[in-house]
Amino acid sequence: MASIGGCNGALPKGARVLVREGEGMPQQLSYELYLKAKEQLAAGGLKPDYAVEQDMELRMKGVLPHTPLDSLQLAKLGQLGYDFVMQVNLLGKREANGYNYVSAHERQAYGDSYQLAGDVTQVTLQFLLYDPQRQEQIYTLNTVTKIEPLTRTDSEGGEKRTNYASVEMALQKAIRKGTEKLLQDCRCCL
């Protein structure tokens, strides 16, 4: 994980957080990730809303979906009573092949840590937090979640590597740990 910006104490209990639809992912997946993050945000004492569910109200006030959050859009969100705006974007994903075999010769030539591209399921998410009152982005967190294969050495010294973890499984894990990190970094007291 790599976080940029400091927002210590920025998320007081009871703060209203608008969660925007994520970029780089289908709408259904964005909604599923919102539901997962919503549980954690609410457990942290925050009041999350999903922008898609608030679409009509937002449009009536001039806040359009899928537009960059500039100072005007943030000011309008502040007028609507939102204390913070959060967005989670999918920056990259890679799904494992399911099964790979590394021979004893390859292990000896390249070392025991030799990995094939298809061994690991990996997801990269970006968490952004905006403050409508200050009309600026106050926090960025990039998180990479990897699910490694199960490895079994055969009688000849080769390795059988099995990884059937899906991208969706990695996304669920990434949203959980990314939201935990955001709450940890942006709360004075948990």
Residue 145 sits at φ, ψ, to 5 deg, of -115, 125
Work out the end-to-end distance of the chain between its first and last CA atoms, rounded to an integer number of angstroms: 20
**C-alpha span between 188 and 35 (Å, rounded):** 24
So what's the pLDDT on residue 190? 37
DSSP codes joined into one string, 11-27: S-TT-EEEEEPPSSS-H
Chain centroid to Cα 6, Å, comes to 18
DSSP element (H, E) containing 182: helix 167-186
49-89: per-residue pLDDT in tens? 999 999 999 999 989 877 888 999 999 999 999 999 999 99
Q: What is the mean pLDDT of residues 4-28?
A: 83
Enter the tokens of residue 63. 């806040």
Q: What is the mean pLDDT of residues 13-40?
A: 92
